[in-house]
Structure 1
Amino acid sequence: MDKLKLSELLDDKPVKLTLDLPAQVHRDLVAYAELLGRNTGQAVEPARLIPPMIARFMATDRAFIKMRKVK
């Protein structure tokens, strides 16, 4: 089993956003969803990956964390 940064996706009340992704980012997102689906045994909709990916990015960005504490 591959070690991915994301594991299971939690259900949470969403806020709707519309965005455009570069084609390569979309292809990578689809590929990531396929890998995650194989690891978890459940089909994963690529769009559902975006919120936890952004959350993980912000949670591990040291400069963001440091600046957020200053507030």
Structure 2
Amino acid sequence: MTGLRLARLPDRTPVKLAIAITPDLHLALAEYAALYAETYGREEPVAELVPAMLSAFLDSDREFSKQRR
């Protein structure tokens, strides 16, 4: 049903995240958040999606996983 690599986020306590990003990255993240909402029927702020996206990225990096062992 979904083509997104990021699964729907579980319920959780909000955590504040403050980072500086480029305007192009901000736009891409906003577009991803919109597609996430369309896919799962639930809006999530970008600041809530970014930690899950980073975790998924790190989990998929074989060299990083190998070095962590």
Q: TM-score scaled by structure 2?
A: 0.84
Q: Distance in 2 between matches of 1:22 and 1:67?
A: 30
User: Match of 1:63, SS?
Assistant: helix
Q: Distance in 1 between matches of 2:14 and 2:46?
A: 18
3-12 vs 55-64, which moves further: 3-12
5+ residue gaps, structure 2, are none
Shift of the 46–17 alpha-carbon distance from structure 1 to 2, 3 Å rule, reads closer
* Secondary structure of 2:3's aligned partner: coil
Which structure has the larger Rg over C-alpha atoms?
1
* Residue 6 of structure 1, CA deviation: 0.9
RMSD between aligned residues? 1.8
Structure 1 consecutive aligned stretches of length 4 or more whose deviation exceeds 3 Å: none
Shift of 1:12: 5.1
Residue of structure 1 in register with 2:3 after alignment:
3
Structure 1, gaps ≥5 residues long: none
Once residues 52 and 23 of structure 1 are traced to their aligned partners in structure 2, the CA distance between those partners, rounded to angstroms, is 21
Residue number in structure 1 paired with 2:19: 19
Partners of 2:2 and 2:39 within 8 A in 1 = yes
Establish whether residue 31 from structure 1 lines up as the match of residue 5 from structure 2: no
Query: 1:3 deviation in Å?
Result: 0.4
Kindly tell me the number of residue pairs found equivalent between the two proteins.
Answer: 68
Identity %: 32
